[in-house]
Structure 1
Amino acid sequence: MRDKLIIGRMIPTGSKVHGLDPRAKITAMLLFTAALILSDGWAQLAVLALLAAAVLAATKIPPKTYLRTMRPLRWLMLFVFLFQLFAGPGAGSAEASTAATALWTWTAGPVTLTSAGLSAALLAVSRMALLIVFTALLTFTTTPSMLSRGIEGMLKPISRGGTGAERFSLMMRLALRFIPALLEEAQTILKAQAARGADYEEMNAKDKARLLLSLLVPVTVGAFRRAEELTTSLEARGYRIGAPRTAYRQLAWRAADTWFTLLFALLPAGALIMRLVS
């Protein structure tokens, strides 16, 4: 189960991207997201895709691993595509259909699908795919503990007394630890049900839904049990939010982190300038 899990999994390859400060990678991801939002054409998206491909190649992680991150969201991507296709530019009105070349007419209603709608749908899905892949790069090259410490370091200057940033960091660190544990527990329950004669592969959709609902109670109880045990463990060790503590690995901002951040800072600035000019 852990081998199939992609969310929150760090893949060590010893690349230079792995060695960057987590704050630099988080900032780069936010700047890349802003550039994706500001981009409004295929030319700008192609530039973002080329830069993303170069950074992905620098991590030395196989491309198929990044492609696997889109699989859990494939239905959402399909929904976004269809929504943009039927409700995007050039769809739904005769006036809009004259602004773009109609590809075909849907006989079930007065809806005309156009090349503009198809382009908008492909553009939206491409933006979403780039966002998913680049977010995966952040988790693939950074351990959960360093990622949470990077977020804590970025939020501490703007949080009251620093405790708010520490609480958020602890919450995220525990969530990343609990996700694989809960999935593994659900897999164990499924195997136990299969050993008792529940053939999940041969069930219809209604029986599968009923089986999945039967997982809700034991997994929820297990989650509360783990949370209670974790709370007891933290209290026994004297853990307290806001207490002074040291870290084994200190965050160090280097020149490579500055250049990496500046490179991505140019993306939203360039996209905004092109929007203003056009």
Structure 2
Amino acid sequence: MFEGITLGQYVPGQSFIHRLDPRTKILCAFLAMLAVLVANRPVAIILLTLLTLLFTGLSGLSLRLVAGTLRPFRVILAVTFILQVFFTPGEALLALGPLAVSREGLELGAVILWRLTLLVVISSLLTLTTSPVKLTAGLESLLTPLQRFGVPAHELAMMMTIALRFVPTLLEEAGQVYRAQQSRGAAFTRGGPVRRLQGVIPLLVPLFAGAFRRAEDLTTAMEIRCYRGGANRTRMHQLKFSRNDWLVLLLACLTLAVILALRWWG
């Protein structure tokens, strides 16, 4: 049930994308997601898809590994597509009782489905190619200018990174609990919807208990090491932009500019 899900994992490597500064990857991911949200023409969606495939290839990651990040969202993707197909008014192609499949619904559903897929893949490329330590450093560096307005940059970066870091751990623990409950005769896939929901309870209770236990262990470990947040902290490796970082950032900015031009003047 939980095998093959790679959400939040980091895959070590020495590819072109791995070697980029974490700030570059964070900014490019943000610009790419913004471009996906504002794109409203087929040529724009095709351009973003080609660029996503290009950077997936440059990351050295297999398509199967990247596709595994879509598994936790497959229900959301399917429901979103179905809702658009049946509830978007337009030219009816097929009638199923009171519901009708419209041509406009199919087109809109396909566009939204593809947008959501690109968003998940782009964010996954960021986490798959950036270690939690570098991700924290990059987020903290980008948020540091906001400290003058009272924003706790280090604490926010640490909180987001820890949340991402524990997603694979929780998925692995959920898989272990799922197999253990199945061996004891738990029925997760049999019966009606009510019985299936009742069958999830034996999975959620130990999972939440384990999550709270891990959080308490992490808090204790940080206190033992005298962790005091970002005050007077130094880093062994200082972040520095390279020529490749500037080129990738320029490409991301140009891509967003082209998408905006196609939206308003195309």
Kept in 2: contact 1:77–1:125 (CA 8 A): yes
Give the C-alpha shift of residue 177 in structure 1: 3.3
Q: Quick one: distance in 1 between partners of 2:2 and 2:101?
A: 43
For residue 113 of structure 1, give the secondary structure of its aligned residue in structure 2.
strand
Kept in 2: contact 1:81–1:121 (CA 8 A): yes
Give the C-alpha shift of residue 194 in structure 1: 4.3
1:175-229 superposed Cα distances (whole Å, 9 cap, x missing partner)? 233333333433443444445x325477435554333212333333332232223
Residue range with higher mean Cα deviation, 128-137 or 176-185: 176-185
Q: Quick one: distance in 2 between partners of 1:55 and 1:186?
A: 31
Kept in 2: contact 1:162–1:242 (CA 8 A): no
2:111 corresponding residue in structure 1: 123
- Residue 3 and residue 118 in structure 1: after superposition, are their counterparts in 2 closer, same or farther (change >3 A)? closer
- Residue 189 and residue 75 in structure 1: after superposition, are their counterparts in 2 closer, same or farther (change >3 A)? closer
- Residue 4 and residue 248 in structure 1: after superposition, are their counterparts in 2 closer, same or farther (change >3 A)? farther
Q: Quick one: distance in 1 between partners of 2:182 and 2:106?
A: 44
Q: Quick one: distance in 1 between partners of 2:38 and 2:151?
A: 34
261, 266, 277: which one aligns with 2:249: 261
TM-score by length of 2: 0.88
Q: Quick one: distance in 2 between partners of 1:171 and 1:182?
A: 16
- Which structure is larger by alpha-carbon Rg, 1 or 2? 1
Structure 1 portions without partners, runs of 5+: none
Superposed CA RMSD in Å reads: 2.5
1:250 corresponding residue in structure 2: 238
1:81-124 superposed Cα distances (whole Å, 9 cap, x missing partner)? 11222233xx2xxxx43xxxx423x2523x55332321111111
- Residue 66 and residue 225 in structure 1: after superposition, are their counterparts in 2 closer, same or farther (change >3 A)? closer
Q: How does 1:1-278 map to 2 (within 5 A)?
A: 4-88=4-88, 91=89, 96-97=90-91, 102-104=92-94, 106=95, 108-109=97-98, 112-160=100-148, 164-195=152-183, 197-200=184-187, 203-204=190-191, 206-278=194-266
Q: Quick one: distance in 2 between partners of 1:54 and 1:202?
A: 39
- Residue 240 and residue 212 in structure 1: after superposition, are their counterparts in 2 closer, same or farther (change >3 A)? same
Give the C-alpha shift of residue 163 in structure 1: 6.4
Give the C-alpha shift of residue 137 in structure 1: 0.9
Q: Kindly provide the amino acid, as one letter, of the partner of residue 61 in structure 2.
A: I
Q: Quick one: distance in 2 between partners of 1:208 and 1:113?
A: 30
Structure 2 portions without partners, runs of 5+: none
Kept in 1: contact 2:9–2:168 (CA 8 A): no
Residue range with higher mean Cα deviation, 61-70 or 214-223: 214-223
- Residue 149 and residue 28 in structure 1: after superposition, are their counterparts in 2 closer, same or farther (change >3 A)? same
Q: Kindly provide the amino acid, as one letter, of the partner of residue 35 in structure 1.
A: A
1:49-70 superposed Cα distances (whole Å, 9 cap, x missing partner)? 1111111111121112122221
Q: Quick one: distance in 1 between partners of 2:173 and 2:60?
A: 32
Displaced runs of 4 or more, over 4 A: 199-203, 205-208
1:236-267 superposed Cα distances (whole Å, 9 cap, x missing partner)? 22111232122232211111111101101112
Kept in 2: contact 1:8–1:144 (CA 8 A): no
TM-score by length of 1: 0.85
Kept in 2: contact 1:85–1:118 (CA 8 A): yes
The alignment covers a number of residue pairs equal to 265
Q: Quick one: distance in 1 between partners of 2:24 and 2:234?
A: 21
- Residue 259 and residue 241 in structure 1: after superposition, are their counterparts in 2 closer, same or farther (change >3 A)? same
Q: Quick one: distance in 2 between partners of 1:260 and 1:128?
A: 23
Identity %: 34
For residue 70 of structure 1, give the secondary structure of its aligned residue in structure 2.
helix
